[in-house]
Amino acid sequence: MELKFLDSKSSSLSEKAALLARTKSSPFSSFEHSVGVKFSQELSSCRGVFTKASYLSSKGTFMPKRAISSVDKEKTAAENYFYQISTNGAGSSLFSRNVGVLDACDDEYGGVVVDPDRLPVNPDAFASMLQFSLSHWKMKGKKGIWLKLPLERSELVPVAVKDGFEYHHAERGYVMLTYWIPEGPCMLPSNATHQVGVGGFVINDKNEVLVVQEKFYAPSFADLWKIPTGFILESEEIYTGAVREVKEETGVDTEFVEVIAFRHAHNLDFDKSDLFFVCMLKPLSAQIKVDNLEIQAAKKLWLICLMHHQYSDWPEGDSLQSQ
């Protein structure tokens, strides 16, 4: 089969038909597949460009198509070329093929962020477009590639990993993968390295401190009383997290006063570092209502008793307690 490219901008319909007639009688027509595609160099990582070939129907009608999608209004040049596939010498027809750059935008550090909402539906199409995009971005001198794959598109993860992408981090609804193009060490920022915890040091005008006993604990922490603690939520301030944790565990409303201490520890849960802030809080209510999911008991202790760690020796009748 003699394989030639037809430029839809310059070739007339008669020229295309004549070329098809010649390729049918070519001595190379026994080849399984011969495919050639040529693209314009005027592609950008900030848009998806698809050059779609056309086909020749059984009636000999030539049907050209050209599709260009863009995320902005800039003019994008693309050339239409057509290729011929011959199978088992049964004849020649023109088939369409979509190959282009994934929809993406440049970041401020010379990298590329792929649009997770405009990924190809078909995994095979995604594989072809990803390889083409990587080649294009390398040619453009791009650096880091960020590929966010939603949970519902998890079938694309092995495709990206096969092409050299690495895991960066994962959340409940997606996984983030990255690809570093330049030679040398990867300069992309690493995943979050810390988790942040808070403790509520609630003290009233009688120098009574609110303490709790957790329902689930290691044997070495049996009979231990402690201040209410927990992790802050995403985008939550430290002081609001402390107020929330006290309310959730004991039912006591409080007001933030100040941060009185913090500590920095490493290699804890998930091998992450941990920042823990102790916040002094002023109680706004007195009634204790224990969170039965996490807390076994809660009560108020005199500050002098708490400082001497005499938790188990303190008379139950002289403190407020909720079991």
pLDDT in tens, 90-133: 444 443 455 799 999 999 999 999 999 999 999 999 999 999 99
What architecture does CATH give domain 104-180?
Answer: 3-Layer(aba) Sandwich (3.40)
Higher pLDDT pick, 7 / 256: 256
pLDDT in tens, 293-320: 888 888 887 775 555 554 443 334 333 3
Predicted local distance difference test score (pLDDT) of residue 222: 81
Sequence-separated (6 or more) residues with CB below 8 Å from residue 201: 209, 227, 260, 278, 279, 280, 281
User: What's the whole-number mean pLDDT along residues 144-154?
Assistant: 97
**Tokens matching residue 50:** 């698809």
Sequence-separated (6 or more) residues with CB below 8 Å from residue 191: 168, 169
Predicted local distance difference test score (pLDDT) of residue 112: 98
Burial class (CB in 10 A: 0-12, 13-18, 19+), 12: exposed
pLDDT in tens, 178-216: 999 999 999 999 988 899 999 999 999 999 999 999 988
**Tokens matching residue 212:** 């709790």
Amino acid at 65: K
Every domain of the chain and the residues it spans:
1-100, 104-180, 194-322
Distance of CA 170 to the CA centre of its chain: 6
> In angstroms, what CA-CA distances link 252 with 7, 154, 202?
76, 43, 9
Alpha helix positions (H), the chain = 13-24, 123-139, 157-162, 238-250, 303-307
DSSP assignment of 85-107 equals: EE-TTS-EEE-----BPPSEEE-
Q: E strands along the chain, which residues?
A: 6-7, 49-50, 55-56, 62-63, 67-68, 81-82, 84-86, 92-94, 104-106, 112-114, 144-150, 166-171, 174-180, 194-202, 208-214, 229-231, 254-265, 273-283, 295-302, 321-322
Q: Regarding the domain with residue range 194-322, which homologous superfamily does it belong to in the CATH classification? A: Nucleoside Triphosphate Pyrophosphohydrolase (3.90.79.10)
pLDDT in tens, 13-52: 445 444 444 444 444 443 334 344 444 444 433 444 444 4
pLDDT in tens, 230-278: 999 989 999 999 999 999 999 999 999 999 999 999 998 888 899 999 9
